[in-house]
């Protein structure tokens, strides 16, 4: 099983004041790294962490990349047509670039057995390969 992380999960993991922090820590503690993500998620996460906990939170995030806990594993340029197709399909939600990248990641053969770690309930509506539910772990409401 491969675990794909969304921005909300990473922020909850690194920001102790975030309401889902205990959930994220508990989930991460049960999983064996690496966690996989994309640069778009890294951009969102670093921006939001800097606003919430300052540069130290971003340093922790980058340390996860350095030590192999988080592995960046996506080249958006290779999938830009599919990303745009998904953003158009889910324009009413609206789907952002990072979410579209994660959905495309789940569609790759190496992620056929994956789970998205997220606090974003939109992942309940998104579908991979147009019809398949995306396996995801979300905090209970």
Q: What is the pLDDT of residue 63?
A: 97
Give the pLDDT score at 140. 87
Domain that holds residue 115: 2-137
For range 113-130, the mean pLDDT:
97
What is the secondary structure of 66-122 as a DSSP string? HTTSEEE---GGGGHHHHHHHHHHTTTTTPPHHHHHHHHHHHSGGGSSEEEE-S-GG
Cα–Cα distance measured from residue 73 to residue 57, given in angstroms and rounded to the nearest whole number: 22
Per-residue pLDDT reduced to its tens digit, 60-101? 999 999 999 999 999 999 999 999 999 999 999 999 999 999
The count of domains in the chain is 1
- CATH number for the domain spanning 19: value is 3.40.50.1010
* Res 5: pLDDT: 98
Task: Give yes or no for residue 126 having a pLDDT over 80.
Answer: yes
pLDDT of 141 over the 80 cut? no
Reported as a single tens digit per residue, the pLDDT across 34-65 is 999 999 999 999 999 999 999 999 999 999 99
User: Which pLDDT score, from 0 to 100, does residue 107 have?
Assistant: 98
Query: pLDDT (tens digit, 9 = 90+) per residue, 2-19?
Result: 999 999 999 999 999 999
């Amino acid at each position: 099983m491969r675990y794909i992380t969304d921005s909300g999960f990473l922020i909850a993991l690194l920001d102790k004041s975030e309401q889902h922090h205990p959930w994220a820590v508990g989930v991460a503690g049960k999983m064996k790294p690496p966690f996989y993500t994309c640069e778009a998620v890294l951009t969102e996460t670093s921006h939001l962490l800097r606003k919430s906990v300052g540069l130290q939170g971003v340093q922790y995030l980058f340390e996860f990349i350095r030590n192999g806990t988080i592995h960046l594993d996506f080249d958006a340029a290779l999938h830009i047509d599919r990303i745009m197709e998904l953003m158009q399909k889910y324009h009413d939600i609206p789907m952002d670039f990072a979410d579209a990248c994660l959905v495309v990641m789940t569609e790759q053969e190496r992620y056929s057995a994956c789970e998205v770690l997220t606090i974003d309930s939109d992942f309940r509506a998104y579908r991979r390969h147009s019809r398949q539910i995306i396996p995801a772990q979300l905090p209970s409401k």
